[in-house]
Amino acid sequence: MIKSEKFTLAGAAGQMEGVIDTPEQAPRGIALVAHPHPLFGGTMDNKVAVTLMRTFVGLGYVVARINFRGVGASEGVHDHGIGETDDMALLHAWMVEKYPGLPVALAGFSFGTFVQSQLAARLAAAGTPAERLVLVGAAAKKWDMAAIPADTILIHGELDETIPMVDVLEWLRPQDIPLLVIPGADHFFHRKLQHIKGWVTQMWHRPTDVAAEETDTASAG
């Protein structure tokens, strides 16, 4: 069972409304989930954001979500991703202090992928990189997506008209990072949410983890 607790956190534009979701066991990591565009109905309760939350709780992570500026009870006004990245960085610092010593994963949907790509770049530059990223409906060409780590999990809908898949492929091509495409899925993954949870859960192990397991198996043989 997921335990959910609401919280407020003081940010540069005022109080931010958020929720922490915790697994039954002691958490193995922290995950921050960013929601889609605030000016188009995006909230922390968006169904893709909630699916990402449930996925990470299932993986044993404590998950934090916030409503971006001007959404729900969060104060302030939309800041085109600049202030939202600052707010997510503040949430990151707060969660790291609250749960010291745990790795931090970043996940986002649509506009939230832009925020998380920028935050990931900021954390890497500071010498405290994220454990791994999960980006669903990556906002390529919509916003200035930062370059991302090679082990990022990217999921996109075949029939996404909001962010055409060709734009995502053009963004990924010079980075040589693969994209997981869900056949028949639109931008909001109607009736396809189970694929997000299923693929992230299956792919969460790092390639180095798999290589280590194969080495151990070979040695045992």
Q: What is the mean pLDDT of the chain?
A: 93
Confidence of residue 219 (pLDDT cuts 50, 70, 90): very low
Whether residue 56 has pLDDT greater than 60: yes
Selection from 157, 59, 48, 71 nearest residue 105 by Cα: 59
Contact 29/80 with Cβ under 8 angstroms? Answer: no
Distance CA 155, CA 36 (A): 15
The CATH code belonging to domain 3-220 is 3.40.50.1820
Confidence of residue 1 (pLDDT cuts 50, 70, 90): confident
Whole-angstrom CA distances from 221 to 157, 212, 214 are 42, 14, 11
pLDDT over 70, % of the chain: 93
Distance CA 198, CA 117 (A): 22
The tokens describing 163, both together, are 């962010």
The predicted structure's pLDDT at residue 206: 58
In one letter, which amino acid is 119?
L
Q: How far is CA 103 from the centre of its chain?
A: 14
Whether residue 187 has pLDDT greater than 70: yes
The predicted structure's pLDDT at residue 111: 98
Radius of gyration of the chain (CA): 17
pLDDT digits (tens, 9 = 90+) for 118-177: 999 999 999 999 999 999 999 999 999 999 999 999 999 999 999 999 999 999 999 999
Q: Which residue has the higher pLDDT, 178 or 218?
A: 178
